[in-house]
Amino acid sequence: MGEAPAHPQAVPVAGISVFAGLGIYASTGSTVDLWLLLLLGLLGFLMRRHEVPLAPVLIAVILGPIAETNLRNTLAISQGDLGALVASPTTVVIYALLAVAVVLAVVGKVRSSRSADV
């Protein structure tokens, strides 16, 4: 035990741990889930430390299966024809918007990194 001062947020951290553990166990009743909680917590910690964004993880977890189902259905209906993915005008519009968003983001980044270098 060193002489280091107590963590300024010792109490809230403890409280959150309790709340988290409690919330999960109360809603699922499974100890396995609690172990998963711990593993994911460690993963989340690493991600925070290395500045990996967390939002895409949740979106991928939830939309991934949906994306997979729709992808497989599309290809099943079209008998493996990949063109079916961009066949309708709606899909074209969506992908176009996607491209626009990416371009905007890239341009924005290039611009801000340039001005930061100045």
Range 42-101, binding other proteins (CB under 8 A) = 42-77, 79-80, 84-88, 90-91, 94-95, 97-98, 101
For the bound state, the minimum distance from the C-beta of residue 34 to other proteins, rounded and expressed in Å, comes to: 4
One-letter amino acid of 50: H
For the bound state, the minimum distance from the C-beta of residue 99 to other proteins, rounded and expressed in Å, comes to: 9
**# binding residues, other proteins (CB under 8 A):** 98
Spatial separation of the C-alpha atoms in residues 70 and 40, rounded to whole Å:
28
Contact 67, 74 (CB under 8 A): no
At CA 50, angle to CA 55 and CA 98, rounded to 5?
40
For the bound state, the minimum distance from the C-beta of residue 81 to other proteins, rounded and expressed in Å, comes to: 11
Range 6-25, binding other proteins (CB under 8 A) = 6-25
Dihedral through CA 11, CA 15, CA 17, CA 20, nearest 10? -160
For the bound state, the minimum distance from the C-beta of residue 96 to other proteins, rounded and expressed in Å, comes to: 10
